[in-house]
């Protein structure tokens, strides 16, 4: 069963515009959410995260919003740059990071930023 869902497989935006990547989850026990970015032939790279006690976390051009009641989070990238073109994975976790901590990943969204 897919506990983390990224229903849109791809997104294409113009350089300079906003990219909004969506993610839904079903497990209400998740209390920490992360976004990873992945280029071809590389491993995923941690991008930004948010605790379930917050509804927004911002880091430079990247902002993650969490709507717990809707079990929905989104990643906003503004302004989008061609170098942002990659696959973005949403992930969720129960509890603090550690060896017992499992990340549950979505399928990923392929973002293409057109120059």
Question: Which span (15-23, 67-75, 76-84, 102-110) binds another protein, by CB under 8 A?
Answer: 102-110
Taking the CA atoms of residue 59, residue 99, residue 30 and residue 45 in that order, the dihedral angle to the nearest 10 degrees is: 30
Q: Is residue 56 a contact residue for another protein (CB under 8 A)?
A: no
44 binds another protein (CB under 8 A): yes
Kindly state whether residue 112 participates in binding another protein, applying the rule CB under 8 A: no
Give the torsion sign (CA, 70, 49, 96, 109). Answer: positive
**Which window, 11-19, 44-52, 66-74, 75-83, contacts another protein (CB under 8 A)?**
44-52
- Report the nearest approach of another protein to the CB of residue 77 (Å): 18
Q: What residues does 88 pair with on adjacent strands?
A: 37, 109
Task: Give whichever of 19 and 36 is closer to another protein, judged by the CB atom.
Answer: 36
Ranges within 57-86 binding another protein (CB under 8 A): none
Non-local (6+) Cβ contacts of 96 within 8 A are none
Contacts of 31 (CB under 8 A, 6+ apart): 51, 52, 53, 93, 94, 95
Using CB under 8 A, list all residues that contact another protein.
2, 32, 34, 36, 41-46, 49, 51, 89, 91, 96-100, 102-103, 105-108
């Amino acid at each position: 069963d897919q506990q983390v869902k990224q229903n849109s497989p791809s997104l294409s935006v113009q350089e300079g515009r906003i990219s909004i990547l969506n993610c839904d989850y079903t497990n209400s026990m998740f209390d920490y959410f992360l976004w990873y970015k992945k280029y071809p032939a590389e491993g995923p790279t941690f991008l930004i995260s948010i605790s379930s006690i917050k509804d927004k976390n911002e880091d430079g051009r990247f902002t993650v919003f969490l709507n717990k009641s809707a079990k929905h989070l989104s990643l906003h990238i503004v302004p989008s740059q061609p170098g942002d073109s990659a696959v973005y994975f949403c992930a969720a976790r129960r509890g603090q990071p550690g060896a017992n901590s499992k990340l549950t990943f979505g399928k990923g969204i392929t973002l293409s930023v057109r120059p």
